[in-house]
């Protein structure tokens, strides 16, 4: 769970012991590995929330106050009062958000289970199951930019990219699976939505004065586990993205075949040897609309 291990003679808090006992008992019907995975899921999420919450407070409030305050009376409204509000708010906010997200995900799970049973009994037409699309969107020349302009500049780029990706991808029905510092890993149920989202995200990055993006998309099965995705589809999408020049979106032939209505928007590049892949892969370049139409 990311906490420091207590010493052998340290007392155990009763409330904490009850929580951990419930965690173990709740997963006792399955393999112990699932108990550990459950603990890691919550541990990682809580650690990231706590670290980033405190870091944001330091960036926005405490460090500026420390650098400019003149009197103790100046510290109270600028530092102590916000701290008194925000410090107890974090745990309450996290508990509320977790409850709301659990409501949503459990509802989706139950609806999906009911639909599958209805399909199995012939009471509901079977919905076509298309493979998902995986996309990597990376900032071009990120290493050189941070070397030239400093880590603080690189951090601002990473934060702004994460903000843009969350808005654009969510609106297009996709999910941001992982933030990679200089890029994002995205998952879409529809490859066509994925292409549209990546194209829109690339435009929004330019509007936000971020460096140009380069991106790669591929279609195929993935293994989703503990908030991350794995498999050859993910690896191929990453290799395609690394092959794309700055300002370019490359997709595999599998993406093009899944999006017949968008065929005219893809420029065939033929079979291309991509570093890290044994066999050549047939790639296509997404052709953006003229600026007057795209805007």
Decide: pTM greater than 0.85.
Answer: no
In a 13 Å sphere around the CA of 283, the CA atoms on its Cβ side amount to 25
Which of the four pLDDT bands, split at 50, 70 and 90, describes residue 292? very low
Arithmetic mean of pLDDT, 36-47:
91
Q: Which residues contact 30 (CB under 8 A, 6 or more apart)?
A: none
* Residue 293 clears pLDDT 80, i.e. is over it: no
| The listed CATH number (3.30.379.10, 3.50.30.10, 3.30.70.1230, 3.30.565.10) that belongs to domain 133-294 | 3.30.70.1230
pLDDT digits (tens, 9 = 90+) for 206-242: 999 999 999 999 999 999 888 899 999 999 999 999 9
Residue 295 has pLDDT above 80, yes or no: no
pLDDT reported for residue 251: 96
Q: What percent of the chain stands above pLDDT 90?
A: 54
Q: pLDDT tens digits for 263-291? A: 778 999 999 888 888 889 999 999 876 55
Chain segment 187-211, per-residue pLDDT in tens: 999 999 999 999 999 999 999 999 9
**Angle between the N-to-C axes of helices 191-207 and 151-171, in degrees from 0 to 180, rounded to the nearest 10:** 140
Residue 127 pLDDT greater than 70, yes or no = no
The tokens for 218 are: 């591929």
Q: pLDDT confidence of 97, banded at 50, 70, 90?
A: very high
Domain chopping of the chain, boundaries: 14-120, 133-294
pLDDT of residue 128: 63
Neighbour count for residue 278 (Cβ, 10 Å): 7
Q: Which residues contact 173 (CB under 8 A, 6 or more apart)?
A: 188, 189, 190, 193
Report, as an integer, the average pLDDT of 171-181: 91
Residue 43 phi/psi, 5-degree rounding, is -60, -45
Res 294 pLDDT > 60: no
What pLDDT score does 214 carry? 94
Instruction: Tell me: pLDDT of 87 over 90.
Output: yes
């Amino acid at each position: 769970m990311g906490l420091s291990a207590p010493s052998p003679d340290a007392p155990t808090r009763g409330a904490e012991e009850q929580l951990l006992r419930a965690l173990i008992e709740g997963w006792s019907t399955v393999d112990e590995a699932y108990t550990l995975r459950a603990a890691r899921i919550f541990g990682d999420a809580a650690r990231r929330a706590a670290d980033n919450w405190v870091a944001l407070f330091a960036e926005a409030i405490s460090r500026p106050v420390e650098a400019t305050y003149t009197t103790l009376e100046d510290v109270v409204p600028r530092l102590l009062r916000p701290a008194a509000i925000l410090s107890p708010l974090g745990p309450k906010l996290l508990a509320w958000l977790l409850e709301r997200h659990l409501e949503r995900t459990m509802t989706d799970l139950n609806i999906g289970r009911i639909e599958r049973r209805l399909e199995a009994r012939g009471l509901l037409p079977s919905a076509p199951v298309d493979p998902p699309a995986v996309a990597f969107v990376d900032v071009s020349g990120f290493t050189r930019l941070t070397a030239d302009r400093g880590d603080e500049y690189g951090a601002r780029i990473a934060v702004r990219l994460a903000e843009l990706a969350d808005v654009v991808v969510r609106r297009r029905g996709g999910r941001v699976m992982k933030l990679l510092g200089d890029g994002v890993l995205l998952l879409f149920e529809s490859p066509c939505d994925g292409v549209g989202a990546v194209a829109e995200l690339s435009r929004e990055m330019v509007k936000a004065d971020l460096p140009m993006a380069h991106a790669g998309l591929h279609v195929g099965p993935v293994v989703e586990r503990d908030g991350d995705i794995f498999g050859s589809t993910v690896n191929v999408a990453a290799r395609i993205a690394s092959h794309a020049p700055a300002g370019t979106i490359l997709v595999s032939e599998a993406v093009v075949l899944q999006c017949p209505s968008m065929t005219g928007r893809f420029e065939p590049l033929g079979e291309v040897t991509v570093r890290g892949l044994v066999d050549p892969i047939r790639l296509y370049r997404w052709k953006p609309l003229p600026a007057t139409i795209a805007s």
